[in-house]
Structures are given as structure tokens and as C-alpha cells.
């Protein structure tokens, strides 16, 4: 058995193929691959006896799940109302310029994925940027974008 097959079997066994566990199964698969490959979704559909259209429906419904490979670093720009009125659009545009990738895309070198989120619940600190799911950068401005990217890349060099 290939490593991929062993990993999938472990995930299926963990959740006992319960249809109600589809979301956590997809989350575990994404944690392994960094995204949800189509061939793996087909295996999930077959193994769990769930129509492929339902598996894809769940995979595309949740913003935390991705059908395309994400970069090593994931940048989210909040575009909720409070962040929007405080300049989130300019912040997003600066990230797009500096990374040469639009929101919803991954850079060619697979280093960064950029996306927007509707609200992160930190309205008083807006505009908010979240890096790699846990590093929050409040009061972000377009002039802080380059230093933010440098900080991400410099931590890798350490």
C-alpha cells in the first residue's frame, strides 16, 4: 500500500466512515496535502458512498477548505465592513501588487496564498491581516505590507 492510501485509511478509520464526519475528514486530508486533490475527493466519495457532487459541495462551501494548492504562507485580508471603511481595499491591492497574485490565488513560487475573509471579529483593530492562521496584524496599512512580507520571509531564513 502506498503512503497516500495508508494515510487515507487511517483518516477513514478514525471517523468510522460516518457521513456526519465528512467535514473533519476533509480537514484532515487538507492538513496532509495542503489542499483537497480531486482524485482524493473521488476516493472519499467512493469509500463513504457519498455522491461526488456532495463531497465537492462541502469542499467548496467552506472557505477554510481549498481545491487548489495553497502556498507555504497563507495571508488573509479582512474585507468586512469595519476593515473596509478603514482601508482594507488599499491593503489588499498592495499585497496583490507585491506578491504578483490576486486574492484567491497562490504565487507562482508556491510561497504565498492570498485571500479575503468577510470578518475576523477584530473590528476595532481593522484593517486586519492574518498570516498563517494565527499571526494577527491590526491597523494594517498599505505601507506596512512590504515589512509584513519581509517579516514572514525573514523568519524562514532563521
pLDDT along the chain (158 residues), means of 10: 82 92 95 91 95 96 87 94 96 98 93 92 94 92 96 72
Can you give the pLDDT at residue 101?
95
Kindly report, as residue ranges, where domains of CATH 3.40.30.10 are found in the chain. Answer: 73-157
Residue 86, helix vs strand vs coil: coil
Residue 63, helix vs strand vs coil: coil
Can you give the pLDDT at residue 125?
95
pTM of the complete model: 0.73
Can you give the pLDDT at residue 32?
87
Strands 112-117 and 105-106 come out as: antiparallel
Q: Does domain 73-157 have CATH number 3.40.30.10?
A: yes
Can you give the pLDDT at residue 155?
66
Those residues whose C-beta lies under 8 Å from the C-beta of residue 127, and which sit 6 or more positions away, are 77, 78, 83, 84, 86, 87, 88, 91, 139, 140, 141
Can you give the pLDDT at residue 7?
87
Amino acid at each position: 500500500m502506498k503512503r497516500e492510501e495508508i494515510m487515507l485509511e487511517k483518516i477513514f478509520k478514525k471517523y468510522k466512515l460516518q457521513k456526519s464526519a465528512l467535514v473533519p475528514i476533509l480537514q484532515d486530508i487538507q492538513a496532509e496535502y495542503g489542499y483537497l486533490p480531486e482524485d482524493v475527493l473521488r476516493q472519499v466519495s467512493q469509500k463513504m458512498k457519498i455522491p461526488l457532487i456532495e463531497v465537492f459541495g462541502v469542499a467548496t462551501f467552506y472557505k477554510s477548505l481549498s481545491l487548489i494548492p495553497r502556498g507555504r504562507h497563507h495571508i488573509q485580508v479582512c474585507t468586512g465592513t469595519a476593515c473596509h471603511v478603514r482601508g482594507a481595499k488599499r491593503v489588499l491591492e498592495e499585497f496583490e501588487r507585491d506578491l504578483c497574485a490576486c486574492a484567491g490565488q497562490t504565487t507562482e513560487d508556491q510561497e504565498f496564498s492570498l485571500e479575503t475573509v468577510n470578518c475576523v471579529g477584530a473590528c476595532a483593530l481593522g484593517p486586519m491581516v492574518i498570516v498563517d492562521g494565527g499571526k494577527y496584524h491590526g491597523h494594517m496599512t498599505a505601507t506596512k505590507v512590504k515589512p509584513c512580507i519581509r517579516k514572514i520571509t525573514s523568519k524562514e531564513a532563521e
